[in-house]
Structure 1
Amino acid sequence: MNFSSVCMPLSHSSHTLLNPFLGNGNLLFPKPYATPKRRPSLTTRALLSTTKEVVLKDFHERRALKIISGLQNFDRDNVASVVTAADKGGATHVDIACDPELVKLAISLTSLPVCVSSVEPSAFLAAVEAGALMAEIGNYDSFYESGILFSPEQILSLTKETRSILPSLTLSVTVPHTLSLPDQVKLAELLEREGADIIQTEGGKCSTPSKPGVLGLIEKATPTLAAAYSISRAVKLPVLCSSGLSAVTAPMAITAGASGVGVGSAINKLNDAIAMVAEVRNIAESLSTAADRKARYEEKILKN
């Protein structure tokens, strides 16, 4: 199966396509395969099975809003600020780095489902046992900055391994924007077969707006909106449109076919806690309005 890459965030020659745990020959993570593979306890498996419906509820209602602190963001103060802003601003999920201590911190601050992001399947179990209810293979932005890309084969392998460790876990997988749009769709279809529960899109890193203001915000969101539109029509899974979104473009994601949006840097790069809450609230309100409008339209179509 052939996949092609487009929309590179850096020059093509500066990128490395390799094992996702390696960067120019150096381990990105300590001992990725050093610990024996463990299975979740019976209690953990039962909890994941009974909570999956709750975790996915907002996706099925097309109003999910996941606030992302960053896959490699281990700054406790920043993570705490992002989680608090998500909670107070009306988000439905929070997404943090895959670290048990950060999970404990997050669940002490919010009752929202906590998602952990990693490209190391063996790390998910400890985070889940600490209280995480969802996992994300994705949020690759920090790796792109280091010149590392992820191939479809690697992402499928990570998905299979995660499913073997945590078969009942709510699992979201990001489709890289570095693939051509047809290949993004192809990978999403394969991920659906491998048991992913949610497909996440991206694209903000490869978009350089040429206009200021609202026009620039729309330009910034175009790649991820295009991916959400195409993928949502090819799979039955909920699609989370993420990367480069704002209160202006979040409603467009719902119209395009997404079941929700993921927002990271628009929140976690702010230095003011009040500004963080205000921005989350703006996005949540715009998303709710779009979801209500879409629901009314679909109800009208069904009646006719």
Structure 2
Amino acid sequence: MSSSIFTPAPQTILKPNQNPLPQIKSSLPNRVSFGKKRTSFSRTRALLSTTKEIVLKDFHQRRALKIISGLQNLDRDNVAAVVTAADKGGATHVDIACDPDLVKLATSLTSLPVCVSAVDAAAFPAAVEAGAVMVEIGNYDSFYEMGLTFSPEQILNLTKETKRILPSVALSVTVPHTLSLPDQVKLAEQLEQEGADIIQTEGGKFSSPSKAGVLGLIEKATPTLAAAYSISRAVRIPVMCSSGLSSVTAPMAITAGASGVGVGSAVNKLNDVVAMIAEVKSIADSLALSTREGNVLREGSLRL
């Protein structure tokens, strides 16, 4: 990064295994004002770009585990439990509803990267200002329950608008399972062209396996595994496999070509935070993820 664009003062030098996000976040202005001097804007853009690189690091290393509380889940107690479980269980990211107050709650509980999900691009800036470092167009499950689906055109327009508003923030976009597999691949390719950083797959929340036990778990995950396999071979950006995954099938997602997995109802539907932590840890162990301290910058130090 050119020092003529961004020269921090003083330098931030991180110790081995130290999470850089709190230091970077503390350097960001509380409010991004586009009417200020160009130097201030350049500094903000540079800081956001550096944050983006760190947020995407686990995806590029094919070891990301994102725990999802739910796009329309505004229950503070449940969200707090999910965030705590992600933090203590060994996840690399946590995904919550696009609500600034929930973002502030999450960032008070963890230093993991906080992603917010929405289907309204205009909702993202306030959440980013509150501390979110990644945005997700997707996690459509709650809309399917209401009989609503999303067309490729709608998702492409949402992606373009989000990139226009937040060009330097990490962007993940979910490809709906309601599309045929060839259409999912086509949409993923278009999303990559529009600047998406991650493609997330899904497989249908309400799939009903005909088998019990391990065979049922594999059957339930088959649609999202198939999407991850096909899409990962069509795009160059990381693919996150989500929906219907477990400790049995999460490793299969990585083998299929995914760079990470997203887990929602397997964790957020549990009634006890201890059980949530145990479930996250089980999935993290299945992916051979280490403890949280080892998840971030294990190679010495980072100079910004």
Q: What TM-score comes out, normalization by structure 1 length? A: 0.81
Query: What's the CA shift for 1:45?
Result: 3.3
- State the secondary structure of the residue aligned to 2:274: helix
Aligned pair count reads 253
Q: Which residue of 1 is the match for residue 257 of structure 2?
A: 257
Query: What's the CA shift for 1:288?
Result: 1.9
Q: Which residue of 1 is the match for residue 81 of structure 2?
A: 81
Q: Which residue of 1 is the match for residue 203 of structure 2?
A: 203
Separation (CA, whole Å) in 2 of partners of 1:239 and 1:40: 36
Q: Which residue of 2 is the match for residue 123 of structure 1?
A: 123
Query: What's the CA shift for 1:48?
Result: 1.8
- 2:145 maps to 1:145: yes
Query: What's the CA shift for 1:47?
Result: 2.9
Q: Which runs of 5+ in 1 are unaligned?
A: 1-37, 290-304
- State the secondary structure of the residue aligned to 2:73: coil
Query: What's the CA shift for 1:46?
Result: 3.5
Separation (CA, whole Å) in 2 of partners of 1:127 and 1:160: 18
Q: Which residue of 1 is the match for residue 185 of structure 2?
A: 185
Q: Which residue of 2 is the match for residue 51 of structure 1?
A: 51
Q: What TM-score comes out, normalization by structure 2 length? A: 0.81
Query: What's the CA shift for 1:204?
Result: 3.3
AA matched with 2:186: K
Q: Which residue of 2 is the match for residue 155 of structure 1?
A: 155
Query: What's the CA shift for 1:206?
Result: 5.0
- State the secondary structure of the residue aligned to 1:205: coil
- 2:218 maps to 1:218: yes
Separation (CA, whole Å) in 2 of partners of 1:273 and 1:163: 35
Q: Which residue of 1 is the match for residue 286 of structure 2?
A: 286
Separation (CA, whole Å) in 2 of partners of 1:205 and 1:104: 29
Query: What's the CA shift for 1:287?
Result: 1.1
Query: What's the CA shift for 1:208?
Result: 1.4
Separation (CA, whole Å) in 1 of partners of 2:270 and 2:178: 27
Separation (CA, whole Å) in 2 of partners of 1:129 and 1:153: 28
Q: 1:163 to 1:39 in 2, by over 3 A?
A: farther
Q: For 1:69-117, what per-residue CA distance to the aligned partner results, in whole angstroms no more than 9, with x for missing partners?
A: 0000000000000000000000000000000000000000000000000
- State the secondary structure of the residue aligned to 2:111: coil
Query: What's the CA shift for 1:44?
Result: 4.8
Query: What's the CA shift for 1:186?
Result: 0.1
Q: Which residue of 1 is the match for residue 66 of structure 2?
A: 66
Q: Which runs of 5+ in 2 are unaligned?
A: 1-32, 290-304
Q: Which residue of 1 is the match for residue 28 of structure 2?
A: none
Q: Is the 8 A contact 1:40 1:125 kept in 2?
A: no
Separation (CA, whole Å) in 2 of partners of 1:135 and 1:91: 17
Q: For 1:220-275, what per-residue CA distance to the aligned partner results, in whole angstroms no more than 9, with x for missing partners?
A: 00000000000000000100000000000000000000000000000000001111
Q: For 1:146-188, what per-residue CA distance to the aligned partner results, in whole angstroms no more than 9, with x for missing partners?
A: 0000000000000000000000010000000000000000000
- State the secondary structure of the residue aligned to 1:172: strand
> Share of identical aligned residues, percent?
82
Q: Which residue of 2 is the match for residue 171 of structure 1?
A: 171
Q: 1:127 to 1:212 in 2, by over 3 A?
A: same
Runs ≥4 residues deviating over 6 A? none
AA matched with 2:180: S
Q: Which residue of 2 is the match for residue 90 of structure 1?
A: 90
The answer to which structure, 1 or 2, has the higher relative contact order (CA under 8 A, 6+ apart) is 2
AA matched with 2:220: K
